[in-house]
Amino acid sequence: MTIRTKKLINAPEDIIPEFIEGLVGAYPDLLTVEGSTGRAVVARHGPRDGKVGIVIGGGSGHEPAFAGYVGRGLADAAAVGNVFASPSPEQILDAGRAADGGAGVVFLYGNYTGDVLNFTMAAEELAAEGTPIRHIAVTDDVASAPYNRRSERRGVAGDFFVFKCAGAAADRGEPLERVEALARLANDRCRSMGVALGACSLPQTGTPNFEIGPGDMEIGMGLHGEPGMRREPLATADTVTDVLMEPILSELDLTEGDRVAVLVNGLGATTQLELFVLFRRVRQILEARDVAIHASWVGEYATSLEMAGASVTLLKLDETLTPLLDHPCRTPALTVGAAPEPIAGATRSARQMRAAKRATAVDRLSLKQGGRIAPTTFRGSMMAVAEAIRRERDWLSQLDGVIGDGDHGITMDTGWTAVTAALAALPADATISEICETIAHAFLTAVGASSGPLYAEAFRSAGAAVSDRLDLDGPALAAWVKGMSDGILARGGAKPGDKTMIDAWVPAALAAADAADRGMDESAVLEAARDAARAGMHDTAEIESRCGRSAKLGARSLGHIDPGAASASVMLAAMCSVLALR
């Protein structure tokens, strides 16, 4: 029987704007919202001329992270994504522009594929507008990769310390290069390890996003519900704390006389009663090593919706980081020292925004013709994709729940719902290339997860590949499928065999090209692509993941279909269903 969870929400699609409205309404003296996306939460007394801007961000569901750390002395702005999904580049740009005081901006976010892709795209655009920009992915989770591959590690509760140190450095007037260096130093000296006792559930599904037995615990659980290092029988609080602390202590190489800051963090459904029992054991372990606790926090600082569990984070301090940790700040979730007052005489100048690009008019008479897939047919196939993704949304999310964070179907449905609205507003005579550009923009704006920038790049690449065509014949259709594959390869960095959507799109492109080379018509070309994508999808069950969140699972990812490859198969099958009716 499917377990249904209960949440105090209205419509799931309204939960983020309503959350932001409630947060800003509760702290009107600290926060405001700026930018057209409505997803940039900005400190009222944070950004100012001459100060490096600090922008943090990530998916929702981790409250009080990320918007709860916006305020004087910490972050100047936060970009707020959908639940467990990175904010989109446009949302990040709103936050970056709001935080820009003319001295540069630093982006800070967790090391997840979607966050890396979206923050990188936003950084590229902000740099093109003339703003000096640095961006740092937090990598504190010792469970997610060995030390010699620590650049691949996830960012979990260590965000708390990295954000605090970077925000203090900027508030003290340090230049951009120094703020970046201090943020990287905090990241290098920060380690976390977590345990989960129970699952969380996404608002859109209302079902647990993974299964765990009543007598089990997951060691090394990720912040989005990703499976951890191993599953073990539930142990006592002291035993669990010992297990969490061992790799942290080993890597930080703490010795007599060292000082640390400690964060014992609840994941959403763990009581203060339990968290202080865990802290008690952390303190005992450190005292036995004659390591001093300079500062400590116990509570919920980086959650995973209502997940039961906790994490332990240590920051190894020195004479550089200690003053940053102690620097006053005031935010909804954290106040340190005396609440800082606004700086007398501080100014905040309006930033010059780059003018929007104007679309170049298309000379339709110059475009090649002769194919069966007219723009109206192509548009119809895209609407069919949206319908198919909606039908398969729960299945795709279930696939993702096994090896990821359980939101792939939701994310894809969000993107294609936005595409449907955008296509409805597009002129009836739009070309296939224009349709593709519209889809790319809609997807990138609506979807902040890795699928957003990947499919935005895919549709732009595919549209460019057929920009000389009014309609598509067999070879042009093969070029379009290859353009989709090439765009994902260029933006994502994954390669065939990494257990990603590429394992469906690359064979689809090869099969389409082969069919076109053999003179087959449009229907046969697309069917060849569909069949190859379906085979590639099933093949991913035999591949050990080497890219994305599931890469942390190693052999535990075997036997499971990749959700990205599955959605690619769904898309091509839906396109075939439309063409077969023509």
Active site residues: 224
Phi, psi (5° rounding) for residue 472? -120, 125
Q: Beta-carbon neighbour count of residue 150 at 10 Å?
A: 18
Backbone torsions φ then ψ of 245, nearest 5 degrees: -75, -30
Across 533-549, b (16+ Cβ under 10 Å) vs e yields bbebbebbeebebebbb
Chain centroid offset of residue 581 CA = 38
Please state, in angstroms and rounded to a whole number, the distance separating the CA atoms of residues 246 and 286: 11
Q: How far is CA 510 from CA 12, 195, 514, 576, in A?
A: 39, 43, 6, 17
Check: CB of residue 457 under 8 Å from CB of residue 487: yes
- Distance, in Å, from the CA atom of 282 to the CA atom of 20, rounded to the nearest integer, reads 35
Q: Which amino acid is at 576?
A: C
Residues forming a β-bridge with 25: none
Question: Helix 451-465 to helix 432-446 angle, to the nearest 10 degrees?
Answer: 170
Query: Do the bridges between strand 40-43 and strand 77-83 make them parallel or antiparallel, or are there none, so unpaired?
Result: antiparallel
Q: Return d(Cα 507, Cα 530) in angstroms, integer.
A: 9
Of 438, 448, 436, 524, the residue nearest 487 (C-alpha) = 436
Helix (H) or strand (E) holding 232: strand 230-233
Nearest to 277 by CA among 246, 229, 248, 242: 242
Determine if the peptide bond prior to 328 is cis (ω within 30°): no
Classify 190 as helix, strand or coil.
strand
Tokens of 365: 């008479």
Query: Which residues pair with residue 315 across a beta bridge?
Result: 190, 261
**At CA 86, angle to CA 84 and CA 89, rounded to 5?**
160
Q: Please state whether beta strands 53-60 and 105-110 pair in parallel, antiparallel, or not at all (unpaired).
A: parallel
Residues 80, 20: Cα–Cα separation, whole Å: 9
